[in-house]
Amino acid sequence: MTVQINDILRADAVMEFGGTEDVINAYQFRYVGSGATDDATALDDLADFLDAVYTWIVATINVVVAFKHIRGANITQDTLLGISTWPALTAGTSAGVPTPPGVAPLVEFPTNIPRVTLRKFGAPTSQAFVTAAGVYSTSLTGAYASFVVALLAGYTTGIRSYEYGYLSPKTGTWLVPTVGLVTNVPAYQRRRRQGRGA
């Protein structure tokens, strides 16, 4: 199959906590290149992009978190792009006792549509990043601020370009956030509680 200009693509960044619990971040991108491209090339591009974006936060991710693979799909054409290994990342590099799998850094990306905010729950980190006040350290929030900048910048290689955003079911339009808000307050992703995964 061929990815056409303005096709909406989904990329799932799949990781695993402690060998048992899935940690998944789903992203949507619009293909805005100057010409069509094949599925395999688009999947490779998205894998390269997410690998580069996660490089900014890998030092905050606990060593028990393994980077498994990246799944791709073309939402516009309702087809699968396939599965790719992470190009470089294999595991988090933060040693020490991990936080519980449901406890996670949170980044929010507001849009211009009321009550439509994109959210990303980061991978489990280490307790060393939690201060005595019960909030995340400035080193962690600073790493996530760089993650935000890299994600919002999108990805371009040759004639192929991708922008991060969200196809809103409320409006049927493609929404592109222009800012990401990083909080130092630990969030909780209920779907990641132990024994459940995802």
- State the pLDDT at residue 20: 80
Query: What confidence score (pLDDT) does residue 27 get?
Result: 97
Q: What is the pLDDT of residue 114?
A: 82
Mean pLDDT, the chain, rounded, equals 94
Is residue 198 predicted with pLDDT exceeding 50? no
Burial letters 20-29, b for 16+ CB under 10 A, else e: ebbbbbebbb
State mean pLDDT over 148-161: 96
Which pLDDT band, with edges at 50, 70 and 90, does 191 fall under?
A: low
Q: Would residue 197 count as lying in a domain?
A: no
Q: Specify the pTM.
A: 0.93
pLDDT in tens, 50-104: 999 999 999 999 999 999 999 999 999 999 999 999 999 999 999 999 998 889 9
Tell me the C-alpha to C-alpha distance, in Å, between residue 123 and each of 59, 60, 153, 198.
Answer: 11, 8, 21, 11
Q: Which residue did the predictor score with more confidence, 117 or 71?
A: 71
**Nearest CA among 163, 141, 97, 123 for reference residue 21:** 123
Tally of structural domains, the chain: 1
What is the distance of C-alpha 100 from the center of its chain?
Answer: 19
Q: Does residue 141 have a pLDDT over 80? A: yes
Compute the distance between CA of residue 198 and CA of residue 190 in angstroms, rounded to an integer: 9
Q: Percent of the chain beyond pLDDT 90? A: 84
Residue 198 lies in a domain: no
Whole-number pLDDT of residue 21: 83
Domain housing 29: 2-192
Alpha helices in the chain (DSSP H): 39-55, 138-153
Q: The tokens of 6 are what? A: 């303005």
